[in-house]
Structures are given as structure tokens and as C-alpha cells.
Structure 1
Amino acid sequence: MIEKCIADWHEYIIGKKPGGLEALIADECVFISPIVFKPQVGKDLTLAYLRAAGGTLGGQGTPGEDKPAENSGKFKYTKEILAGNHAMLEFETEMDGKYVNGVDIITCNDEGKIIEFKVMIRPLQAVNAVHAAMGAMLEKMKAA
């Protein structure tokens, strides 16, 4: 099942997924941020964080829009591991001249919807840059 889920995720990333991000995320999804201590529970919070990430890690800059992160050309997945209902996707990008390396750890249910999305980022300078950019993007999204 994870193969279809990740194929759909990649279709979303390149802007070809009908229904966009909402079609991929289960209502009970949990988003685990590298910045926020407490897991964010529910589809709406997961969507907000993933859209903010697309606007920061992908360089979009348009708050709250369901646009794929890779449009900037800097964000790219470099490795992929799939097993059972789990996937690990390693990514690289650049933010404000700083190298960002991380992984998305994705779990899907038997219907192929994402039920857990965990993000880990390195190095420390990247964590700090993502923290500042995500905070600003989430504030813009709240105001929009």
C-alpha cells in the first residue's frame, strides 16, 4: 500500500495529483514537526504544516496555497525507502544560502491515506532557518 501512497505523494509534489494534498491526508493524521514539541493531531493541522513547509522549504512564499514544494527547483528527494505501510524520503534544499537535509517519514493506512507524517531536519543551522521561516509562514497563513 505504501507504494501507491508515495506515488500519489510524488504526483502531488509535481502538481499532478487530483484533489491535491487534501486527497492524500487521513482525517486522523498526526504531523510530527522537527520544531514543535507536541505532535499536531488532525487533518487540518497536518495540512497547515505541510502547506507552510511547501511555502518555506520549497521557496513558494504564497501562504496557504496547495502548491507543490518542488516548483522552486531547489527541493528534491534524493533517497527513498519503502517497507510495509512506511516510507522514508530523504530530501535536500537550500534556504537563505543554507544547506538543508532531512527526511520525511510517512505512514499510510490500508486505504492509502497518510496517517502520520514526521519530518527530521539537519544540520542545526538548517533547523534554525526552518524554525524562523515556518513560524513566519504560519503567521501569514493565519492572517490570510
Structure 2
Amino acid sequence: MQLAPAVQASLDKWHHMVSIADMRSLNEIIHPDAVFRSPMAFHPYAGGDTLATALRTVLTVFEDFRYHRQFSADQHNVALEFSARVGTRDVKGIDLIRFNDDGLITDFEVMVRPGSGLAALGEQMSEKLGAYLKAAKASK
């Protein structure tokens, strides 16, 4: 399935930012009311700023991050398969990203395996973002 042109443009921008490890333009492709669904939390985190902060931070935690495959069921939703390393743990994961008609991310869900890699990721993210995410969750 071919993505909507605005969605494809934002996805291309996302891939470029990841490839050069420069997230300065990230907020340009995130809707202010976007939702972040963390692999470590049952409840989602609301707000584009929260999503942007989580994405910027996780890319400092992941090492050797790379996308392998992309799937789309319609013009606004994509699944991106990735691999990375967190410390000594190898992880595989999926980013499920929903875009609106304007090409802005409205929902970003991450799934990670194996459990030991998820635990390592959670520990490092908590060290870097724990207080921020607790405040974001409490304010919803």
C-alpha cells in the first residue's frame, strides 16, 4: 500500500533524522496532541512534546540502531522493524506510527523484545527520563 504523500514526506524526514542522529526538526512532524505508547508502560503518554522527548532520548540509549523493514496497511499507518543494542543486550522491535492527513505523527507505539533487552532499555530510559515521564503521566 502506498502512503499518502504528506505521510511519506514526514516518514522520509524521520528516516533522515535517524540516519544522521539529528532530531532538531522532530517537532515539525509531530502533532501537538500526539500519544506515545511506551513498551515499559501500560498507559500512554499524551502530548507531542512528551513523544519528542522520548524519541530524542531513546536514540541516545540505542546503539547500532537500524531499521530493516517497513509495512503499511493503509495510507496513514506504518510499522517499522528495527534492531539495536542497549549496553550488552541486543533488541528487536517494532515502531507503529500513525499519521494524520497533514503527515503529522498522532500516535507512536513501540514494542521491544526480548524481555532482558526491554529491561535494559527501561533502566536506561528511567535514568534519563524517569522524573519527566512521571510528571507527563500525572498531568494527563
- 1:93 correspondence with 2:80: no
1:87 & 1:76 partners in 2: Cα distance?
A: 16
Matched AA of 2:49: D
- Look up the match of 2:136: none
Structure 1 unaligned blocks of 5 or more: 59-73
Specify whether residues 23 and 126 from structure 1 end up closer, same or farther in structure 2 by C-alpha distance, changes over 3 A only: same
- Look up the match of 2:137: none
1:128 & 1:30 partners in 2: Cα distance?
A: 22
TM-score norm. by structure 2 comes to 0.82
Shift of 1:18: 9.0
Aligned residues: 127
2:23 & 2:90 partners in 1: Cα distance?
A: 32
Shift of 1:17: 7.6
CA RMSD of aligned residues (A): 2.1
Does the CA contact (< 8 Å) of 1:56 and 1:137 recur in 2? no
2-11 or 91-100: bigger deviation: 2-11
Structure 2 unaligned blocks of 5 or more: 134-140
- 1:114 correspondence with 2:105: yes
- Aligned positions of 1:45-60 closer than 5 A: 45-58=50-63
TM-score norm. by structure 1 comes to 0.80
Q: Among all aligned residue pairs of Structure 1 and Structure 2, give the percentage whose two residues are the same amino acid.
A: 28
Shift of 1:19: 5.3
Moved over 4 A (4+): 16-19, 139-142
1:104 & 1:132 partners in 2: Cα distance?
A: 20
Does the CA contact (< 8 Å) of 2:31 and 2:105 recur in 1? yes
